[in-house]
Homo-oligomer: A and B are copies of this chain.
Amino acid sequence: MKNDSFETLSCPMPIMHHDTIQLAHGAGGTLSFDLIERLFLPRFGNDMLNRLEDQAVLEFPGQRLAFTTDSFVVDPLFFPGGDIGGLSIYGTVNDICMSGATPLYVSVAFILEEGLPMETLHRIVVRMEEAAKESGVMVVTGDTKVVDKGSCDKLFINTTGIGVVPEGVNISVNNLNVGDRILLSGTIADHGMAVMTSRKGLSFQSQVQSDCAALNGLVAVMLEQTKDIHAMRDPTRGGLATTLNEFARSSKVGIQLNGDQIPVNPEVQGACEVLGIDPLYVANEGKLVAVVLPGEAENVLKAMRKHKYGREAVIIGEVVEEHPGIVAMSTGFGAERIIDMSVGEQLPRIC
């Protein structure tokens, strides 16, 4: 496998008894311990994980806890701009911080296919370590299952995260009010198109890169501006269109978008046109949509633009009284269209 992601590995492969995953690596015996002690603990180790109990016992510094789970089945495992390991940490960190919470702890559960090259697993684990450090979360408990060859495709990862919700923060898809402004942190459709174009048989001159990144730093600077963020979400599967539909339906309000304001990278736009895909429905992994009071919008936007993951942040629309439950979009040509929720599956296994 040839990929940019392979060139920047920060630590050498440990010496293992086997070059590939064996069924016994999931059996709870000597080989399971080998995997834990040589591959996992050197990367993820901390006081809580090192105890190797079947559960982590953690100090919890608050009254309100954010809790989220995600399985990652992305194909291919390594794609331009990212890999399943980094994605599995970022995805859960992002789901936690979309509630305004500070992500603290993560569990990691692998399902491995018998025969998976040990080196592939090692590369992924190294990426997870880097992503966890960048996001400021600790891996505190885990699980490894191995299934016989053919019973899963290489490897799947589940991560589940815990965060602490600060006092006074109350973010929910039910909280949109008429007049609120809708902020988007940057370009859309990068992740989904990066995975899509990296699949066998598709190649574009200028390679599209995934945007996968941890958004908790960006959320922190936004919360410094106002604790009164009404709704916030990272538009992953189903894309921006699906997230905005969920907002409109849950809060029983209309959403009016200015289509010309929604940024799309030119190479992503090109790939979407070639493949006949609407970027509004394509997954993002490092973007967020936030809904705030009209009086707060400019300040929050300014703060976002100072952060590396919000440089291209824009106000893309507002919450309206008309057409409750419906997302409408106008474009520069004066056209108006309804943006419905996605029905089918455009891109299986994008995350």
Residues of B within 8 Å of A161, CB to CB, are: 55
How many copies make up the complex? 2
Known contacts A23-B345, A24-B344, A29 near B158 by CB under 8 Å: no
Flag if A68 contacts B141 (CB, 8 Å).
Answer: yes
CA distance A51 to B246 in the complex (A): 11
Q: Establish whether residues A346 and B27, one from each chain, have CB atoms under 8 Å apart when the complex forms.
A: yes
Q: Is the CB of A69 within 8 A of B342?
A: no
Chain A interface, >50% SS class: mixed
The distance in angstroms between the C-alpha atoms of A340 and B73, with both chains bound, is 36
Could you tell me the distance between the alpha carbons of A165 and B163 in the complex, rounded to whole angstroms? 18
CB-based contact B67/A140 at 8 Å: yes
Q: Could you list 16 A-B pairs, sorted by A, with CB under 8 Å?
A: A27-B342, A27-B345, A27-B348, A29-B242, A52-B250, A55-B66, A55-B68, A56-B67, A57-B64, A58-B67, A59-B64, A68-B107, A69-B108, A73-B111, A147-B348, A151-B152
The 10 residue pairs across chains A and B that have the minimum distance between CB atoms: A28-B237, A28-B238, A29-B342, A55-B68, A160-B160, A69-B107, A24-B345, A158-B158, A151-B153, A27-B345
Q: Which residues in A have some Cβ–Cβ distance to B below 8 Å?
A: 22-24, 26-33, 51-60, 62-73, 75, 95-96, 98-99, 101, 105, 107-111, 140-143, 145-148, 150-153, 156, 158, 160-163, 165, 172-174, 233-234, 236-238, 242, 246, 250, 281, 283, 341-349
